[in-house]
Amino acid sequence: LGGTGRALTRFVSMAVSGGMEMLATDCAFAGYVVRLFATATVAIAPACLPLGAVFPLLMKGEEAFSTQPGKSIGTLSAVNTIGAILGSLAAGFLLLGGLGVWPTIQLIASIYLLLAIITPASGSRATHAVRIAAVAMLALLFTQLDPSKLPAPAGTEKHGQVVETWEGSDCTVTVVETARGHAIRINSNYGLGSTDAYASQMFQARIPLLAWPETDSVFFLGMGTGITAGEALNRNDFPRVGKVVASELSPGVVAASRKYFTRTAEGFDLTNGLFTDPRASVVISDGRNRLMADRERYAMINADLFLPYRRGTGNLYSREHFQTVRARLKPGGVFVQWLPLYQVSEKEFAVIANTMITVFPQVSLWRGNCQPGAEIAALVGHSDPTPIPAAASGEMPSTPSPDMQEFMLSINPRTIPLFYGG
């Protein structure tokens, strides 16, 4: 039963989740939680319940043969504990990265079905029936139920054609090709950027660097496509930048950026030499932990646009994290925390802003775009209360646009004050 439940898990999961589509949030929080647990239960209960019964059934069955109950229970418990430890390590560090999610489930299902076939038991008709059923399911597992027959997750397929996938213990990274280029998505739904959003990603580096033109070193907490970090290597606009460090949590994201964003169809490197420029280095690590362990100081620390609903994001808005960041800034350095205003309430924005104010002697606000409904902004923590550098002199260019949703104000040393929010 456990092996059969495992074999069907991937097909049941795809069915109840609408092809791994993001769970709808058109309800109250309590309703969302109920929907989440109901979906997960239907997806994994057919496998988890019978497999969870194996250990207690073994302990019960041992009663008929045991002359030393303590030794029997201790042996079974020890084997079960060792198996749980080795299984979790193998799944997280070997199987998910080496085989992928669905082939790993296929492998585990086949092991349980093989055990059902070879485990000694009485020669009753029921035993024979179980073994015949296990053989039949094992055959189906590598034919009709083969995971290669699964369609691409709907969450990615609806955005374009999936061209490559990287699976690991942290997440599943896919590159999706659209009419306008490539996009990186995590777990089929969460977007990390695209060639289509090149300008907005580039602005997340240009705005703070133009506001603080003396910056000579930048640490990027989060890399994504690499477009933002790569813009800091622009020698024409930012000649003083001599060091760029981009920290990315997922190795799949780094591989996707290196393969699909360093050379477009026109031969253009969207990352501006992030993987080849001697001034730059890309590290696969948790940026928050790296800043805690690393004693190097930077003139600017630029934190990516984290969506608050993602697991673990709260740590990146904590007072302790902000204190670590301030300790890694050079005198006169700044910390840039980008925020998706369309993803936070007024109260949540106030909590984040107030937390920064308790750590930094001065915090300034900067807008990242002019698009209503898709606003992003940066809270900039100053390591000391120094005045903001003056803008360059000259005539302010105008950028008229009848469509405010597509309005993109040019960013240069003269227009940078227009992004200042106070």
CA distance 159 to 174: 11
CA angle 395, 401, 405 (to 5 degrees): 125
Report CA Rg, the chain: 27
CA angle 262, 265, 270 (to 5 degrees): 30
Using the 8-state DSSP alphabet, how is residue 91 labeled? I
Residues 167-204: tens digit of each pLDDT: 888 888 888 887 778 888 888 777 778 877 888 888 89
C-alpha dihedral sign at 263, 266, 271, 276: positive
Residues 250-287: tens digit of each pLDDT: 898 999 999 988 887 667 888 999 999 999 999 999 88
- Show the tokens assigned to 307: 């969506």
What does the buried/exposed string (b/e) look like for 134-143 if buried means 16 or more CB atoms within 10 Å of the residue's CB? beebbeebee
Which among 361, 406, 366, 353 has a CA at the least distance from the CA of 205? 366
Using the 8-state DSSP alphabet, how is residue 313 labeled? G
List strand residue ranges (DSSP E) for 202-253, in order.
Answer: 217-221, 243-248
> Which pLDDT belongs to residue 418?
83
Using the 8-state DSSP alphabet, how is residue 317 labeled? G
Model pTM? 0.81
Report yes or no: 365 and 422 within 8 Å, Cβ to Cβ: yes
The continuous run of DSSP H or E covering 282 comes out as strand 280-284
Name the percent of the chain in helix, strand, coil, to the closest 5: 45, 15, 35
What does the buried/exposed string (b/e) look like for 251-288 if buried means 16 or more CB atoms within 10 Å of the residue's CB? ebbbebbbebbbeeeeeebbbbbbbebeebebeeeebb
CA distance 241 to 232: 7
C-alpha dihedral sign at 271, 275, 280, 281: positive
> Which pLDDT belongs to residue 392?
62
Q: For the chain, which residues score pLDDT lower than 50? A: 397, 400-405
> Which pLDDT belongs to residue 24?
77
> Which pLDDT belongs to residue 303?
94
Which among 334, 345, 201, 219 has a CA at the least distance from the CA of 261? 201
Which among 125, 99, 104, 137 has a CA at the least distance from the CA of 3? 137
Spatial neighbors of 95 by CB under 8 A, at least 6 apart, are 104, 107
> Which pLDDT belongs to residue 404?
45
CA distance 129 to 348: 59
> Which pLDDT belongs to residue 391?
65
Spatial neighbors of 281 by CB under 8 A, at least 6 apart, are 244, 245, 246
CA distance 319 to 61: 54
φ/ψ (deg, to 5) at 162: -70, 125
